[in-house]
Amino acid sequence: MDKQHRERIERLISSALKFFEVQKIVGTSIREKSKVAYGRLLDGHMLVLGAINLAIDRKNSIPGNTSPKLSNIFSLSVSFLQGIDVCESLISDGYYIQASAILKQEMETIAAIEECWEGVRKERKTPNVKNVKWNLGRFYGDLNRAAHIADKDLLDYLIKMQIDSNRVGASAVPVFNKEEAKGMYGLHVCLLLLLLFNIHKLFEEVYGSGLTETEFMGGVAGFDALADEGWLNPDDSYNKTAPAGDRFVRGG
């Protein structure tokens, strides 16, 4: 390799490293703004996720009842779990187009789990998001359009930045959008809470008992955070005074 060729290679590699560095710096800055925008949703996310992880750790490697239906629900739940960090990071760091694809998949996963419970799941078929509780399926269309980059106006809304009063341009790095960040994050927390409901139901079937009181508390606190931020109706989705085993009767 001659000197000129080597210098060109080094320049290209340096440019790639600079790109990643800038993306990281911008993402960190946006994350700080996102955390402020989330309000109580930030606490809700941590509490619901904490409850899910406690439940999973508690039953890890413990044998239980099984069936094709329960095995499928386990697999679907795990696929959701594996993407939680990715989804949260994409939203919080300002990658809204990419986050829409993960949120779309999370919603489809919850819908597929619901179809398994109802005995109507069809393999190799996209699940019907109308099965997702709290009418969250109403957001599916926008997520789908963003994920497939099928709507010019929506794409422009998510990536364009104002340069001055007369010009706008598309930014190569994420641009913070308070409304989009809070909306996507709230939907993510709602879907997390529905996953917790389904884990409770799954554990009852597999192990004979569902969530513990501490785990229930995480779900209730997460629900309260969502209700405070206007996502859910506190009167319709769970009963705080019910025994632990019936705590999520209306919500789950």
For 51, the token pair is 């409850």
Beta-strand relationship, 168-170 and 160-162 = antiparallel
Question: Residue 235 has what pLDDT?
Answer: 62
Q: Which of 154, 158, 151 is nearest to 178 (CA)?
A: 158
187/143 Cα distance (integer angstroms):
11
Question: Residue 116 has what pLDDT?
Answer: 95
- What single letter denotes the amino acid at residue 69? K
Q: Which of 118, 114, 147, 145 is nearest to 129 (CA)?
A: 114
Residue bearing tokens 């309000």: 39
For residue 170, what are the β-bridge partners? 160
Residue bearing tokens 């919850």: 110
Question: Residue 146 has what pLDDT?
Answer: 82
Backbone angles phi, psi at 82, to 5 degrees: -65, -25
Residue bearing tokens 């994409």: 90
For residue 168, what are the β-bridge partners? 162
136-145 in b/e form (b: 16+ CB < 10 A) is bbebbeebbb
Question: Residue 245 has what pLDDT?
Answer: 32
DSSP label of 89: H
Mean pLDDT by 10 residues, the chain (252 residues): 87 93 93 96 96 93 88 95 96 94 96 94 90 90 82 69 52 85 94 95 93 93 91 60 33 32
213/117 Cα distance (integer angstroms):
24
Is-contact 238 216, C-beta < 8 A?
no
DSSP 3-state assignment of 161? strand
- What single letter denotes the amino acid at residue 19? F
Residue 234 CA, chain-centre distance (Å), reads 21
Is-contact 93 22, C-beta < 8 A?
no
Question: Residue 65 has what pLDDT?
Answer: 87
Q: Which of 81, 27, 112 is nearest to 196 (CA)?
A: 81
Is-contact 121 84, C-beta < 8 A?
no
For 166, the token pair is 């007369």
Question: Residue 142 has what pLDDT?
Answer: 87
Question: Residue 234 has what pLDDT?
Answer: 66
Question: Residue 236 has what pLDDT?
Answer: 52
Q: How many CB atoms lie within 10 A of CB 188?
A: 23
